[in-house]
Structure 1
Amino acid sequence: MRLTELAIAAALGFAAVPAIANPSPSEICAVAPGALRTLAATAEGATQRRALRDIQLGEQLCEARNRPEAARKFRAAAAALGTDLQTAMANVTKTAAVQ
């Protein structure tokens, strides 16, 4: 947003929300697996296995075009890793934008 748009949004009481705040199902299938695998790489034992299982199931559901169920599996993986899906996806988006 431009500075004037931010000023108008602030005056109207709107918050500047990142685009990934409410990702579409296709965005979830494209971004979530990589973002969650990155987080899972630093997780411990059973937590990592649980998250990776949910990620794999989510990917299979994406391939089967069952994106709502895939999103549920990705959310479960994110929860197991101690975060939520939007935060995990936003962190990857920010990192990609910086590089």
Structure 2
Amino acid sequence: MIAQPVHAYGVVAASASSVTTVDLPYVARIEQLRVQAGQPVKRGTPLFVVQADPAAVVAAAQAKSAAQRASSSCASCERGAQRATAARHRQRTCDHRRTA
């Protein structure tokens, strides 16, 4: 904080070391700013509120659903492969006993 006024020409900007990038996993827009420029804040203080683009919300829900279906399908295939392997093993065991 500057204790006395300074008159100068130029541009006031934040230093690169104090700027933080916020990445969201979806398209959104800032709906509300909760602080003013230059306002001191404590760690954890909400700075803004974002509103997700409705199309992004739908796309995210569809992607999550597709991932869950794929995971379920994969698990089903794995169980089927395990049953088939066990059946082949039992068949070989039976064949081996018949020939012995």
Coarse TM-score class (shorter-chain normalised): under 0.3
In terms of fraction of residues, the more strand-rich structure is 2
Greater Cα radius of gyration, structure 1 or 2: 2
TM-score, structure 2 normalization: 0.22
In terms of fraction of residues, the more helix-rich structure is 1
